[in-house]
Amino acid sequence: MLLCSNPRAQYLAHKDEIDAAMARVLNGGRYILGAEVEAFEKEFARYIGAASALGVGSGTEALHVALAACGVGPGDEVVTVSHTAVATVAAIELCGARPVFVDIRPDTFTMDVARLEAALGPRTKAIVPVHLYGHPADIVDIVAIAKRRGLRVVEDCAQAHGASVAGRKVGTFGDVGCFSFYPTKNLGALGDGGAVTTSDPELRNKMRLLREYGWSERYVSAIPGWNTRLDELQAAILRVKLRHLDDDNAARRRVAATYTAGLGGSGLVLPKKATGVAAVYHLYVVRSARRDTLIEYLRSQGIAALIHYPVPVHRQPAYRERSAATSLPATDCASAEVLSLPMYPELRKVDIDTVIEATRRFEGCNA
């Protein structure tokens, strides 16, 4: 059996609490937008430090709802990065807008602020920075640029639940924060789910309408909307896991520290952390010029290392025709070298040591 991501381990770690929460919902008889969702929204908003949160159907839909509420539509441009999950760009295109890509910093894999202003144009409506791998983007500088230009900022926090800058959690800097609760996330459901956070009451009301057919009251649509709701069962599970999120993030940091100590001097480029940020290590991502060979070797040793992400969005078949002239050298370089080692809170020390030893063996034999 391959050593890899293991969302079941987190279920087992909190099994009694999760089973009790699920039984409560099943016996309660209300399964959509009930008391569990309302309670989770309040608890999650309080945890993030935002005035409000709204549960939606997925992280992609969180971005879609947020951008639509910010007025993004056909003919607009939204600036983001190409080194991200394709969901970031899919949400932009769901609004009818055009994604414009900015290159990344080679150390943190997040948006290179030095290149941001050059990407802004007369049709730019919003900026979507991605807090990738659990490391915050340079969000303070990005928001400052956006304010000068009168632009909206929608934070993609899908991999950064609990990450912070100078003690302030991501998801509170921009106009809206967008979160995914996919099972492998730092805060993961047992199915799909997502949330938006904001402290702008007007945006909150617009997003509340958009997530359920634009209903101002049942069966009465004040604006056009769609169906993207977090269900009661997932909300109840997330309420349990939210109580343990800080401890789980602390465990991720310990795993990362062990990797960093064990892989120092191995020849790999190890993760860097910017000053003043608290990363939550959704993934532990290293770089290797022999990445593909290393993956094959680790697999032969029973270790499933993955690539996040092997093909940047601007080079994928669905998007490359519209971004043929885009030059993103740091992004292209990263996509050829990045490798994600196994990372989850319940990862045992013996398994971490196995990964370290196998990786060092490979690097030693191929030096």
Cα angle value 358/359/360 (rounded, 5°): 95
DSSP secondary structure string for all residues of 249-269: HHHHHHHHHHHHHHHTTSSSB
Contact 346, 9 (CB under 8 A): yes
The CATH number of domain 245-365 is 3.30.479.30: no
- How confident is the model at residue 324, as a pLDDT? 61
The CATH number assigned to the domain with range 7-102+110-243 reads 3.40.640.10
Helix (H) or strand (E) holding 93: helix 86-94
- How confident is the model at residue 325, as a pLDDT? 63
Helix (H) or strand (E) holding 192: none
201 alpha-carbon distance from chain centroid = 24
Domain boundaries, the chain: 7-102+110-243, 245-365
Residue 36 makes CB contacts below 8 A (sequence gap 6+) with 21, 24, 25, 232, 233, 235, 236, 239
CA torsion 144-150-154-160 (nearest 10°) is 0
Contact 165, 136 (CB under 8 A): yes
Query: Locate tokens 């904001």: which residue?
Result: 198
Phi/psi of residue 115, each to 5°?
A: -105, 0
Residue 309: asked if its preceding bond is cis (omega within 30°), the reply is yes
**pTM of the predicted model as reported, rounded to 2 decimal places:** 0.97
Phi/psi of residue 218, each to 5°?
A: -55, 130
Copy the structure tokens of residue 22: 């699920």
Cα–Cα distances in angstroms (integers) from residue 225 to residues 163, 180, 181, in the given order = 31, 20, 22
- How confident is the model at residue 101, as a pLDDT? 96
Of residues 124, 108, 97, the one with CA closest to residue 116: 124
Of residues 239, 310, 229, the one with CA closest to residue 32: 229
Distance CA 41, CA 45 (A): 6
For each of the chain's 367 residues, which pLDDT tens digit applies?
A: 567 778 899 999 999 999 999 999 999 999 999 999 999 999 999 999 999 999 999 999 999 999 999 999 999 999 999 999 999 999 999 999 999 999 999 999 999 999 999 999 999 999 999 999 999 999 999 999 999 999 999 999 999 999 999 999 999 999 999 999 999 999 999 999 999 999 999 999 999 999 999 999 999 999 999 999 999 999 999 999 999 999 999 999 999 999 999 999 999 999 999 999 999 999 999 999 999 999 999 999 999 999 999 999 999 999 988 766 679 999 999 999 999 999 999 999 999 999 999 999 997 776 5
- How confident is the model at residue 366, as a pLDDT? 66
Copy the structure tokens of residue 231: 């269900």
